[in-house]
Amino acid sequence: MNVFETNLNDALLIQPRIFGDQRGFFFETYQKNRYQKEGMDFQFVQDNLSRSSRGTLRGLHFQVPPYAQGKLVYVLEGAVLDVIVDLRKKSSSYGHSFQVELSAENKKQLWVPPGFAHGFLVLSDSALFAYKCTHYYNQEAEGGILWSDPFLKIKWSIDSPLLSEKDSNLPTWENLKSPF
């Protein structure tokens, strides 16, 4: 696998090694020893899977300490625009974002460290989105930032995404009191 740094401290883009022939392909979505050799020594405790239709935007979400989650995210079917924002006040990339297309075709993965907000927009007819988490979900620890906040300058390429009521009412950056 190849590991690439992003413009955000500690967030990594991962391109697994793909073995393909006329029958199809094979690759390891995760192998602890291989990730550890690349400096990614985390323990996953929960796997999540979501299916969403075109134009659905989920996020920008995070879990507050002590329930903060690191996530290894990837797409099994379809394509998404994946976006993360560094919420760590002491980080030199605090308040900055990174975005990348993750798809079943490109098989890229994104490591989202604890202390980051995360969201994605479905670009294909539907998308099956998978992620491994380093901490259990805790409803009382939910946090988020409004997807369209002008401070973040995220280019979502959509004006009216399909949103949950919760995601429509998340606070702006100006009103966020980062717990990180």
Structure tokens at 71: 């996530």
pLDDT digits (tens, 9 = 90+) for 86-132: 999 999 999 999 999 999 999 999 999 999 999 999 999 999 999 99
Task: Please give the mean pLDDT across all residues of the chain.
Answer: 95
Contacts of residue 16, Cβ cutoff 8 Å, sequence gap at least 6: 1, 27, 28, 29, 107, 109
pLDDT at 39 over 90: no
Mean predicted confidence (pLDDT) in 136-147: 96
- For the entire predicted model, the pTM comes to 0.93
Catalytic pick from 35, 61, 74, 135?
A: 61
Total residue count of the chain as it appears in this document: 180
Please tell me the predicted confidence (pLDDT) of residue 174. Answer: 94
Tell me, rounded to whole angstroms, the distance of Cα 160 from its chain centroid.
Answer: 21
Distance CA 132, CA 138 (A): 15
Residue 41 tokens, joined: 């020594």
To the query of whether residue 61 is one of the catalytic residues in this protein, the response is yes
Catalytic residue status for 131: yes
Q: At residue 60, does pLDDT exceed 90?
A: yes
Catalytic, out of 35, 74, 131, 135: 131
pLDDT above 90: residue 83: yes
Query: pLDDT tens digit string along 147-160?
Result: 999 999 999 999 89
